[in-house]
Structure 1
Amino acid sequence: MAKRRKPISFDTTLRNPSRIPQFISVLSKFEGKTIDDQVALELEGEIIRQKIFIPTKNTLGNYVKYYNDKFSFLAADQSSDASKKVDKYYKEWVDGEPGEIELDKIVYLLKNTITAHKDKGWNGGWESRIHTQFNFLNELGLVRVVKGEKVKISSNGKLMITDYVNGYPKGESFDERFEQSAFLNAFAKYQINNPYRKNTIKVNFFPLVLNVIKYLDEKYNRPGIAKQDLPFIIMWGDNDYETLAEYIYVFRQKFGYNTSNELVYEYAMNLMDSSTSNNSLVPASKSFILSKKNDYKFDKVMGETPDEIIRKLRLTMLISLRGAGRFIDINKNEQEKINHVLTNYSSNVNFCDNVDKYFEFMGAMDKVLFFSQVAVETQDAKDAKERAIEKWAVENDWEFLKNEMINSVENRPSSHFILKYVKETVRLEFLSAIVIKKALPKLKVIANYKADDQGIPFNTASGGKNNQIGADIDVFEDTIHAIMEPTISKTRSFQVEHELPSIRNHVLTTANKDFKDKNGYNEWFCLFIASNISRDVGDQVALIRQTNNVEIFPWDIVDFVDYSQNVVSIRDYKVIRDYAKPQIMPKYKKHTNRQE
């Protein structure tokens, strides 16, 4: 395919950023292997086996004997009982835990079912899913996944999965800053004109965005750019940020911010017209829009791509959300890293379609862009988080908070202007802190997630390491120091085997530290916020209390929000609900076998 001028766009296959390290973690098992037909199916099979990607019953559980539409397919098993075997293996996979079913059974399913998908260079069906899942990761220089070549994972890709195994965080020591550092390294260097793109424009995308924001702030005291300004950047064709910034400034001076998307689209489209100058503010001609509207679709330019830009740039932790999510700005908590990106990565590099050169450049780690494991949070950053929690508690009603918490655990996207850019795991922590602050406004609530300078979270609290306790949220009332531990995981094994032992350690460490520091607290416990709480959780909580004298109170998310509307003290949450009561043997009458 010949190169041509196109708007900037991002792959939307992996909308959920937490999935990127998950995919690379699974891929690491195949590093160095050449991707032939069998290895391709084993790779996709392992991704499915670990439930990183969850196909539907209609695809993975539906036996297809042959198919001849977008591509030709013949099931490997042509026997009369193949359909029953597919049903059996599919049900075994659905009912099992991640990684529980044998890989051979998943590969059998892939060889006897189809997904109607075909990518160039890959066999049609499940194998083509690999290209879809890894192509953008190729672009970011995290991996090299190409049919007929050996699997490669760059140094930056390996950094991203430092705390992952089999597609999931290793345990309590999990620290998202490894993957945040990797994301920042990747996006700081990312160029639209890379060997994987057929686009003629030469743009260093993230530095261009940062330079535009910085220029407008310094020259016009205009912090941030509106989300509605992003189409101008999407349509821009080089790194001349000054001309672009002036274009945006003049547009807003003329029309203000209460403008329609249709108006912005007309003026942004003119930037794609090579027959007109970018130095003057004029709309695109009707004929140009008519000729290009199928290539530069309105919904994509005005909605989908700006959303994806914000979602992906938030991964770097250098972008703040302002104005109820309508504006993006530089995160002033990370000014040193921003300056480093602008100084070192604003100039375009010509890779001449050399994928090896590009992989080496993108995959190298710039240690200045690492987020320190021992960084001390400033008081300003802590205050911003507290202000955000208090503001959201006042401004949002119970039903909204409950629904958004449910969205988080169900991995459903939010439609809220801000929450839709916050990953589900930390979104639940944020909302849990808001709920308890709304219930008890006088409480001091300290959330330990990483946030921007507006207090909007980036990632979850780090695990207990480097002399940090690792609790998600600390709550203080008089002589009580409670902690809150929300989790989006609904699996019994994760809640019982991972969460509860970690929580026990957090409570013990918190109490011991308070005692040592003479902080004046004499009561410690934890509220465990989750969904699908099993009886095994109740059993383990009772055992921990008996063995360690540590109090943990499990709360179902819906019950937690409903109950919170009528509490007067944090102590009111010290209740073992019916769904979390430990199991006990039934009472029965003893019988004997003695002879009368």
Structure 2
Amino acid sequence: MPKRKNERKPLSFTTTMRNPERIVSFLNCLIDFEGKILTNDLIYDIIKNILSKKIYETVYQRNNKKYKHIYADESLDYTDEDLKDIIKNSSQNHKESGFEKGWPSRFDTFYKFSKELGFVYYEINKKIEISESGHLLIKTLGKNSDSTKLLSRVFLNAMVKYNTNNPFRRNLNSNTPLVLTLETINILKNNYNWEKSGIYRHEIPFITCWQNNNSSKLAEFINSFRIKHGKKPSNETVYSLCLELLESDNTKRFKINQILNEGVDDFIRKFRITGLFSLRGMGNLLDVNKFEIDKTEYVLEKYNNQEIFDDEYKFYEYMGQIDENFVKIPSNYIQYNINEIRQRNLEKWAKDLTKDEIYQELKVLGNKNIASKHTVLKFIDGPIRFEFLTSIALKQHFPSVDISPNYPIDDEGMPTFTAMGGIGDIEVYSDHDRVLVEVTLIRNRNQGSIEIPAITRHLKSIVGVNMKIYSIFIAPIIHEDTKYMIGYTKNRYGLNIYDYTIEDFVKSISKFEKLSDFCFDN
């Protein structure tokens, strides 16, 4: 089949790996195969590894009672024979260029975006390579504040270099989207008299369809659009202008939903994880995060005129090199009252969303098969969102109690990472209680060994305070090993940890009148 000729196409990162954290899980499955020659036989070994780690589920597994049960239970593992059977009976009607139809092509689908971002390089009959940035990304697999920050830095390193017309794409549009966006926001702010800084959600398609790196022209285009169409243009108006930018009238090739919804969501998700951007106005406005101004200025100075690569491997090498300045440049927190910003935003969300809305969002986190559809919450990584939603729920139900989450924030007060190690996720104070609220999405046997010793240390550090001291521990499920370790903490140190599944927490908090009602040994 002849290759499709180059054409103008909207920016589209991937439909398979929408969640950046999912990329990490897949990349981790390649560690044992680094340096090995990629063959179809090796691909099947890699696929077995992916299936064994339960980060991909086939239709055959979902329709098989035994395999479905194993997939759902984190304490159970597939045998080697199970994995062979799943692969054999899961036909992959899929073909990618350079790979045989079936699982080899599915492998390429899993990893091609990681390859494009410079995390890994592979070709049939060549050694698998994992780059410097790829290895750093794999280190972020453990969910804690340090790993989440590192993940943000690695994606920032990739996104500032990413070009729409890189060797892995055939696109007549050629720009560096992240740099183009930052420059356009600055020009709109400095050269045009608009009340609010940033790019409106409905204007993002103009960036994803823009032809080049001319940010001045793009800012002028958006300014004229605002004057003519206002802040609430019709979808059809935006779509029509995007097709003009793409020099196309092919509505089947470039669907309205793809450009105005899917592409925008993916754009926000990938860019927000870099830490340089904040969402304002309940997700309607994308702006520069003031806490990261120094990094933003560095990006605009160093990456505003980048080399265009024709060779895939050279592009991979460029993308895979880490710019250490993204780690060295500190965030600009000193001039701001972080706690005040965090509390103000928490109170706003507790007021703007109903209790039932928070309940439903918490339940989403407890179900691996459901995704949030909220215009802002869907862009927040699960563990971070869990801390945020739990803080909101506590604030709504106990307004007179001091609810103090410890998650880092952007300049809107929205959480950017999970709480740092050494402190509780959420500290709660009433007249008589001092409570550590700890949350995790870990479901397997590691849940207890990772979470309970840390909670015990936190509780021991505040023993002696003339208040009732205890912890509330919340997870999608409570593993049996966790219950055992909670019992050990009680018997060894006399410290109470009250465990709740997300479902039980939602049911209980709706009925409780005071904080101590969580203590089910009362």
TM-score (normalizing by structure 1): 0.81
Residue 161 of structure 2 corresponds to 189
Question: Could you tell me which residue of structure 2 aligns to residue 9 of structure 1?
Answer: 12
Residues 1:559 and 2:504 aligned together? yes
> What are the superposed Cα offsets for residues 509-557 of structure 1, whole Å, 9 maximum, x if unpaired?
3x16xx6xxxx66443211112333555444322211112221111232
Decide whether the 8 Å contact of 1:31 with 1:153 is kept in 2.
Answer: yes
Match 1:37 to one of 37, 40, 47: 40
In structure 2, distance between residues paired with 1:41 and 1:31? 15
Q: Which secondary structure state, in structure 2, belongs to the residue aligned with residue 459 of structure 1?
A: coil
2:456 corresponds to: 504
Q: Secondary structure at the match of 2:160?
A: helix
Structure 2 CA distance, aligned partners of 1:124 and 1:344?
42
Residues 469-508 of structure 1 deviation map (CA, whole Å, 9 limit, x = unaligned) = 14211122236432111122333x1333322223222322
Structure number with bigger Rg: 1
- The within-5 A match list for 1:201-212 is 201-212=173-184
1:544 aligns to 2:478 (yes or no): no
Q: Residue 380 of structure 2 corresponds to which residue in structure 1? A: 422
| Structure 2 counterpart SS, 1:451 | coil
**1:99/1:556 Cα in 2 relative to 1: closer, same or farther (>3 Å)?**
closer
2:185 pairs with 213, 228, 233, which one?
A: 213
Quick check: 527-536 or 135-144, which moved more?
527-536
2: CA distance, partners of 1:174 / 1:344:
26
**Which residue among 254, 260, 263 is the counterpart of 2:237?**
263
CA distance 1:262–1:101, change in 2 (3 Å): same
Do the aligned residues in 1 keep the contact of 2:366 with 2:503 (CA within 8 Å)?
A: no
Residue 405 of structure 2 corresponds to residue 436 of structure 1: no
Aligned to 2:133: 156
The residue number in structure 2 matching 1:381 is: 338
- Does 1:524 find its partner at 2:501? no
Query: Post-superposition shift, 1:297?
Result: 1.4
Distance 2:367 2:300 in 1: 38
Classify 1:95/1:232 alpha carbon distance in 2 versus 1 (closer, same or farther; 3 Å). closer
Question: Secondary structure at 1:483's aligned position in 2?
Answer: strand
| Rounded Cα–Cα distance in structure 2 between residues aligned with 1:293 and 1:127 | 32
Whole-Å Cα distance in 2 between the matches of residues 190 and 12 of structure 1? 17
Q: Does 1:359 align with 2:316?
A: yes
Give the AA of the match of 1:410.
N
Give the equivalent residue in structure 1 for 2:58: 55
Q: Does 1:482 align with 2:482?
A: no
Aligned length, in residue pairs: 516
Q: Which amino acid aligns with 1:20?
A: I
Does structure 1 retain, via aligned residues, the 8 Å contact 2:91–2:102? yes
Partner amino acid, structure 2, of 1:149: K
In the TM superposition, what are the counterparts of 1:239-388 in structure 2 within 5 Å?
Answer: 239-273=213-247, 289=249, 292-352=250-310, 354-370=311-327, 379-388=336-345
Amino acid in the other structure paired with 2:474: I
Query: 1:130 aligned to 90, 100, 107, which one?
Result: 107
- Post-superposition shift, 1:438? 0.7
Deviations 1:15-48 (A, max 9, x none): 2222111111111111111110111011111011
Q: State TM-score, norm by structure 2.
A: 0.92
Deviation readout 1:44-69 (Å, 9 max, x if unpaired): 110111112122336895xxxxxxxx
Local SS of the residue matching 2:428: strand
Counterpart secondary structure, 2:375? coil
The aligned counterpart of 2:152 is 180
Partner of 2:71: 94
Structure 1 residue 181 displacement after superposition: 1.0
Aligned equivalents of 2:211 and 2:226: distance in 1?
21
- Cα distance in 2 for partners of 1:232, 1:144 equals 31
- 1:471 match: 424
Q: Which residue does the alignment assign to 2:409?
A: 451
Aligned match of 1:199: 171
Give the secondary structure class of the aligned counterpart of 1:370. Answer: helix
User: Cα RMSD (Å) of the superposition?
Assistant: 2.6
CA contact (8 A) 2:282 2:375 kept: yes
Task: Tell me the secondary structure at the aligned position of residue 29 of structure 2.
Answer: helix
Aligned twin of 1:392: 349
Q: Which amino acid aligns with 1:486?
A: V
* Separation in 1, partners of 2:361, 2:37: 43
Query: Is the 8 Å Cα contact of residues 161 and 319 (structure 2) preserved in structure 1?
Result: yes
What is the distance in 2 between the residues matched to 1:146 and 1:501?
44
Question: Which 5+ residue runs of structure 1 have no aligned equivalent?
Answer: 62-86, 274-287, 578-596
